[in-house]
Structure 1
Amino acid sequence: MALTGLVASNGFAQNEDNPFFSDLPIVASVSRLPQRLADASAAVTVIDRDMIKASGARDLSDVFRLVPGFMTYPNNTDAARVTYHGLTNEDFSPRVQVLIDGRSQYSPLFRNGINWATLPVALEDVERIEVVRGTNAVSYGSNAFLGVINIITVDPALVRGVSVSTNQGTQGVSDSTLRVGGRVGDAGDFRFTYQQKNDFGLTDQFDWKDSFDSRLLTLNAAYWLGNSEQLQLSLGHVEAVTRLGRLARIDVNGVKVLSGGEDPGNPFRDFDQSNTFLQLGWRRILSAEADLQLRYAYTQDRGSEDHVELGSDLSWNGNRALRYRVDAYGDVGDRHEIEVQHTFAPTAATRVAWGAGYRLDSLQSDSYLPRHDTAYRRVGRIFGNVEWRPAEWFTGNFGVAGERDSLAGGNFSPRLSANFHLTPEDTLRFGASRAFRTGSTADYIGVRLITPFATAGGVPIPPGQVYRHKFLGDGDMAQERIDTVEIGYLGDWKAWRSSLDVRLFHERVPNRMLTVERRLPLSVACDVPVYPGPCVAGAADFTTAVQRVAIQGLEFQWRWQPREGTRLQVGQAWTAISSAFLDAALAGGVTTLETAGNRDRISRLTRESAPDSASSLLFMQRLPGGVDFSLAGYWVGNMKWTRNSSVDFYRRFDLRLGRPFNLAGQRGELAYIAQSINGAHGEFKSSGEPSDRVVETRQWVSLRLDF
């Protein structure tokens, strides 16, 4: 279990006499202090184990459809993304921080984003998820930009015996899971999980094929050195293979038709990915109100999609078709991180959590760092949160964090909130914060060159004779900034067994960063001593500030448990995004912005990167005979994931029926799950495609046996 999870679990233990505590639990993800939701400085959605099971989710990314303001789509030939309030376009969603037991999942290899295909946790091992809806750089660093997903796994002390399970269903669904838990000596516990997942992906549609395979191994252990001191160990490895590529096609009278074979510019290949991690934690309880925690984590991400593409180039003897070797996300990214945190109560009305961390990232990439054997990045950070509760009717929270990045420079992130408890059941919250997002290592020092090695006919090209820039980093690139003001209301109506959480927000990003093409001075375009030869490129992609963006809206989540065995949760988000281009971007030689069509596409991407309206519903009911029934429903408005994609309004309903059993001492559960029971719909469509990423009904049977 995570150190933050350990703190939170202590908070739960103090509230076991509350019959509705499961709906309004103690949370620790906002300020790193265990707090009532009514005292927290941000809106939080808590997803417990029952909700995860009832949602019918097979992939962790699917679970966040239940969170107001969050958007996702199924893992397919495009990497799954989980976003909050839009600002999409990047492949691996770098604006929402994801933690597993306190360990950040941001990867140097995947452009400081999250690769959900190799997230090293099985759904069966998740105890609960705390989702902070809003920036939280104060607690978790500069890239906790729009929100934080804190995944807390099951305490090894709660896992005993052996559990095996399998899923078998349509679209090639074939999963197997083995979980074992037990004691380690007189004062320790362990949890071991092995899982493999396979599917054919979404049904083959027009010019692409989809499949996914993964294998996961994790081990978690905890050992008490005494009544007040604990050691924790987590380690694991996950590897996944995703199918990429397209079939060849041609345009016939404005209609795209298949022409046979693979697309030579985007051939079929396997994208091999893996994640390996180790985490060590130490915690000492100093008193009822104080503890000291130390955590070290190491993570390594690997990837490879090495393949040959046929491209065009007009500069080498007039030859328009050349062969290039491409491996966009290939090679290795490593991260070492150490963090210390001290929690204490200096007065009866005040609690403090403060600490410091140091991170060392390294990246090897033949695609983005051809001049570097290994690129290193060092980040130091201090943080502090103070909770002040001088009276029953008021809770104040103040937090600050300072960060120094060897590539991005420094930043300072403050947050202030005031919670007024109008009654024991009604709280009004006012908050303001500032946060930053730093770019990836490649954004600062990357140099991606496209160098052909042969003509289309296979004639070798002498090394260094022709090349062109694809991407250039900018060492002076600014950090993306967000300023947020919000008003929140929390109602906890125990007599009605119901709660309501409302958030009204205004988020302003004065320098939205985007990768665009910029014209290069001839001296820059040709100054690549590693690749001598004639210069052929006058432009390259850069990541730079492009727009001023304002995001405003209203969201709520309502929960109701009218009686035991019945639960209802409803979420709704209304979001409006506006933008304007920065004068510096328009005048800075950004060729992407020189045409009205491109400017319109970028503006639409920003405005429509979150739907105007999105709703979710989860209904859970215990039926006669001990059958668990649940229905999840989603209504998602028009939106865009990328400049050249579109998503029409869609509805989706997922169903689950489960029957726990105990036959002659053999315990387990048999379940039937069906996703998109209302039929096919699109969740990611490339512009101009006849059909793309159509989600059809997927169903499977799940069997679990516990020994």
Structure 2
Amino acid sequence: MHIATRAPLPLSLFAALLAGKAVAGDLFVDRVDVPEVLTASRLKQSPAEVPGSMTVLDRDLIRASGARDIPELMRLVPGMMVGYLSGNQATVNYHGTNVTEARRLQVLVDGRSVYRPGLATVDWTDIPVAIEDIDRIEVFRGPNAVSYGANALMGVINILTRHPADSQGTRLKYTAGQDGISDWYASQGLRGESSDYRLSLSGQQDDGFDHDQFDRAYRDSRRLSRFNLVANHSLDLRHSVDWQLAAKEGTNQRPYSYRPIFGNVPNGSDNSDLTARDYAGSLRWTFDVNPEHSFYMQGYAEHWERLQDFRACEAQVAFSPQLAELWALDPKYVERLSESLPRIPPGTAKERALASQVLRQLRTGAARSSCGQVNQNIRETRYDLEMQDILSLADGVRLLTGMSYRHDQATSETYFDGTVNNEIWRLFSQLEWHLTPHWLLQGGAMLEDDQLSGSSASPRIALNYLITPRHSLRAVYSEAVRSPDMYENEVDWSYRVRNITPAAYGQNSAYYFARAHGPGDLDQERMRSREVGYNGQFDELSVDIKAYYDEIHGLISDPLKVSDFEPTNDNSIRFSGAETQLDWRASLRDRLRLTYAYVDYDATSRYDRRLTARNSGSAGWMRDWGHGWSSSVFYYGDDALNEYRFERVDLRMAKRIPLGRASLELAGVLQQRLDDEPLTWPENRYDSRHLLYFSAEVDF
């Protein structure tokens, strides 16, 4: 009853679509080629054939948005919730769930997952690809474990970079502006007899938010540099080889946020900054057997390093063996003890006996502070090998089959007390069957065996009614899982403090009393999704409408901290609502784009209610004024993200100047907040409601 009043324009178009004579009229001209997408089912399909909802952000839209980061581009995707833990920690979630643990989307760069295995997260502001290298981003809005396995629970974001054949010549760009913005990009494309190469170097820098809610300076700036080398080799008409190398290095500021448990102890440092290094390499061989049969094999390796070493101070009693034993018995009792000192709170006989010893230690000098070096370093590695075969069995029938093997490893003294490994085997298949010229049936399943969390199956079935090849109605049912990550299930979390000064209990190296252990038996999160929708490709207009009902059970919701580590599968959430997107090339010079999402939800955990806006959307107008001038204006709005409203208008103006065989583009972007609220969290605040930056780009 809410849906009908919230998307009047697309629904009126939908009504026109079904109005008898329109089927044979001018609505269904085929003068414009329809771009194919491949993220939904791994098969190249027209939007009308896709078994679900897709959003494609093309190269022109990405440039016109003026966005510097991939998370900001996600504001153009209906139902996508974009938030920030700090200036260098973006979170992206489809529909919602825990704001601090956005880990239910699979994110790919040219088929390579950038979803980190150990902490099961995506470092959105650290993805090792420059926005200038992106050709398009395909977003499948809904569960797609059937195509990409566990962790594609709520959607897939597939970042596809430009083919090196389309990146010939030299390209240089520099961007500078408020809040310390200083970005640079340089690429060189080369062409051989049967090969194409692109080398790109890039970097980003900004100061993050200006201050927190208490008007104090906020340590959340970032600095990063990236290297990408991409190559394509056409061996002959049927064989090709593609390979990539990528690296990223940078520093993200982190404030020193630890607060001592016992006594009045000074801070050990003013920061716990993080050094981030990423390395990746991939190799893919494609064999087009004939027009009806193709095969590929792809392998890649990735390595992530997050190094965070800082000086911390605490009362010496924090290294007490008796306090550690008391914590192991009942962490809540330690909290009550710290709050009631010098009185010993009620408890068991053993708890009170240990508390008496701790109190005696405090009275005899253990309340004095000691400082030492602590780290939260983690290194994660992934190896992945995948094979896929696509075969046309008959006219209108295609079968996709494949298998993959993945090895994940996470090493951390702090989080795992060593190394944790995981092996994942996958077997997947999709069948596309054109029953008649109007009816398309699709089905598929992913069978997955995860060493740490067991086996699972993720099926999907979809029925599309093709009114014409460019207009369809669809009904989709799918199931998906998310495997608990190493951090949730296998953690052995402890802090070893080195170079303690002055020595505590006669030791220069000791463990902090608080520890956390993963349960080891968490079950997989399980999702059931139902969707009906319409997709239409008119002459210059594309429309997609979706209504859905999603349920997730066994949800792992609670924030995970060493002082409060109790993950369970006790929670659930239900999402229902509608989404629509419209892209209209109104003239040769004008393009309009609208998105809207309405989400109704019911969650058992308050943490899962934070990052869901009931109403959200975007609107954009792109205009080519001629004589090298162009402009774009975008509006983004969410009625409540973590209880804070978000509204912003972005304006981009650009002028392209021919320089003989080269060209120069000068552009400026103004972001104007229409609200006066913090961004996602109360400490995320700017001095000004507007942000201005300029860029100069030359191609030759």
Q: Give the TM bin, normalised by the shorter chain.
A: 0.7 to 0.9
Describe how 1:218-617 pairs up with structure 2 within 5 A: 218-245=228-255, 264=267, 267-311=270-314, 315=323, 316=358, 317-318=361-362, 319=366, 323=371, 325-328=373-376, 330-370=377-417, 372=418, 374-423=419-468, 425-451=470-496, 459=504, 462=507, 467-494=512-539, 497-515=540-558, 541-580=565-604, 602-603=605-606, 605-617=607-619
CA distance in 1, matches of 2:306, 2:560: 26
CA distance in 2, matches of 1:454, 1:621: 62
The amino acid of 1:362's aligned partner reads Q
Match of 1:628 in 2: 630
Change (3 A) 1:677 1:541: closer
Change (3 A) 1:53 1:629: same
* 1:249 shift after superposition: 11
Q: Please, which of 63, 86, 106 is the counterpart of residue 97 of structure 1?
A: 106
2:585 match: secondary structure: strand
CA distance in 2, matches of 1:323, 1:667: 58
Q: Tell me which of the two structures has the higher relative contact order, counting C-alpha pairs closer than 8 angstroms and 6 or more residues apart.
A: 2
* 1:673 shift after superposition: 1.2
Match of 1:44 in 2: 54
Q: Which moved more, 1:125-134 or 1:657-666?
A: 657-666
Does residue 83 (structure 1) correspond to residue 107 (structure 2)? The answer is no
The amino acid of 1:514's aligned partner reads S
Match of 2:73 in 1: 63
Match of 1:177 in 2: 185
The amino acid of 1:282's aligned partner reads W
User: Quick check: 1:117–1:240 contact (8 Å CA) kept in 2?
Assistant: no
* 1:454 shift after superposition: 8.0
Change (3 A) 1:461 1:557: farther
Q: Which moved more, 1:207-216 or 1:353-362?
A: 207-216
CA distance in 2, matches of 1:147, 1:266: 40
1:108 match: secondary structure: coil
Match of 2:21 in 1: none
User: Quick check: 1:398–1:415 contact (8 Å CA) kept in 2?
Assistant: yes
Q: Please, which of 687, 696, 703 is the counterpart of residue 696 of structure 2?
A: 703
Does residue 157 (structure 1) correspond to residue 157 (structure 2)? The answer is no
Does residue 217 (structure 1) correspond to residue 227 (structure 2)? The answer is yes
Match of 2:152 in 1: 144
Q: Considering only CA atoms, is the larger Rg found in Structure 1 or Structure 2?
A: 2
* 1:322 shift after superposition: 5.7
* 1:170 shift after superposition: 1.5
Change (3 A) 1:366 1:385: same
Change (3 A) 1:492 1:480: same
* 1:486 shift after superposition: 0.8
Change (3 A) 1:694 1:133: farther
CA distance in 2, matches of 1:239, 1:355: 34
CA distance in 1, matches of 2:237, 2:471: 38
Q: Which moved more, 1:162-171 or 1:466-475?
A: 466-475
Q: Which moved more, 1:226-235 or 1:673-682?
A: 673-682
Change (3 A) 1:263 1:295: farther
Q: Which structure 2 residue ranges, 5 or more long, are not aligned?
A: 1-28, 324-357
Does residue 638 (structure 1) correspond to residue 640 (structure 2)? The answer is yes
Change (3 A) 1:277 1:425: closer
* 1:387 shift after superposition: 0.6
Q: Which one has a larger percent helix, Structure 1 or Structure 2?
A: 2
* 1:326 shift after superposition: 3.7
CA distance in 2, matches of 1:54, 1:383: 38
The amino acid of 2:46's aligned partner reads R
CA distance in 1, matches of 2:501, 2:557: 33
TM-superposition CA deviations, 1:264-287 (whole Å, max 9, x none)? 277313210011000000000011
Q: Which moved more, 1:360-369 or 1:66-75?
A: 66-75
* 1:171 shift after superposition: 1.3
**Could you state the TM-score of these two structures normalised by the residue count of structure 2?**
0.84
CA distance in 1, matches of 2:470, 2:44: 19
2:644 match: secondary structure: coil
CA distance in 2, matches of 1:419, 1:181: 42
User: Quick check: 2:654–2:666 contact (8 Å CA) kept in 1?
Assistant: yes
Change (3 A) 1:390 1:193: same
* 1:546 shift after superposition: 2.6
CA distance in 2, matches of 1:19, 1:662: 32
TM-superposition CA deviations, 1:190-223 (whole Å, max 9, x none)? 0100001112222234332231111000000011
Match of 1:135 in 2: 143
Q: Which structure 1 residue ranges, 5 or more long, are not aligned?
A: 1-16, 251-261, 519-536, 581-601, 641-646
Change (3 A) 1:407 1:461: farther
Q: Please, which of 655, 669, 673 is the counterpart of residue 673 of structure 1?
A: 669
User: Quick check: 1:452–1:461 contact (8 Å CA) kept in 2?
Assistant: no
What fraction of aligned residue pairs are identical, expressed as a percent? 27
CA distance in 1, matches of 2:68, 2:224: 13
CA distance in 2, matches of 1:660, 1:465: 62
Q: Please, which of 115, 134, 144 is the counterpart of residue 106 of structure 1?
A: 115
The amino acid of 2:189's aligned partner reads G
Change (3 A) 1:263 1:385: farther
User: Quick check: 2:85–2:681 contact (8 Å CA) kept in 1?
Assistant: no
User: Quick check: 2:91–2:99 contact (8 Å CA) kept in 1?
Assistant: no
1:180 match: secondary structure: strand
1:33 match: secondary structure: coil
* 1:331 shift after superposition: 2.8
* 1:455 shift after superposition: 7.7
User: Quick check: 1:566–1:621 contact (8 Å CA) kept in 2?
Assistant: yes
